Amino acid sequence: PSMAYALCRPPGHHASADMYGGYCYLNNAAIAAAALAAQGQRIAILDTDYHHGNGTQSIFYDRDDVYVASVHADPDQEYPYFCGYADERGSSLGAGFNFNIPLARGTAEAQYLVALDRALTALDGYQPDVVLVSHGFDTLAGDPEGRFNLSIDSFERIGRRLRSLGRPLVVVQEGGYSLADLQLAFAAFLGGLLH
């Protein structure tokens, strides 16, 4: 399948239509999703950043042309604190088109990949024409902004799972602040995506 990778800084998934936060001013993935949806394409967004993409959720919460799935830290424990809970499923036309999987601090690869597989199954059932991935590297063990315990090799496995969807992918880089390991995690992720 076709693929594109957007190396964006600052990240964007905390920015909503009328609010910025969490270092985010423009929601890059949401802008791309809205443009593709306006062309009549069915879009799914998968957010794999450590923090919940509250901006992305708010933008599409009442829409049925963009499915949003997110695997992230439990908002009881981490930013943004006020949303990202499992019972937030969308409203109005968007009811059932939002899927949150919050995970506890310390989550390691095995539990993370189970949650990721659940999210991928859900969004694949939507049969999107394009999958946008708000991809964060702050799930890496030791990241100063995250508290998950993924290894460098975990990112290769994540990349393989995304590729196995067999759908066009647009990956938009979000967080990731462990500068010493970021390039290694990035290379592992690309390896999984491309092989």
In the residue annotation, 195 being an active-site residue is answered as no
Closest CA to 153 of 129, 181, 188, 178: 188
Task: Indicate the SS3 state at residue 33.
Answer: helix
Whole-number Å distance between alpha carbons of 15 and 194 = 30
**Element of type H or E holding 187:** helix 179-194
- The region that residue 114 occupies, defined by phi over 0 for left and psi between -120 and 50 for alpha, beta otherwise, is alpha
What's the CA gap between 53 and 31, in Å, rounded? 14
Catalytic, out of 13, 14, 52, 135: 14
Residues with catalytic function: 14
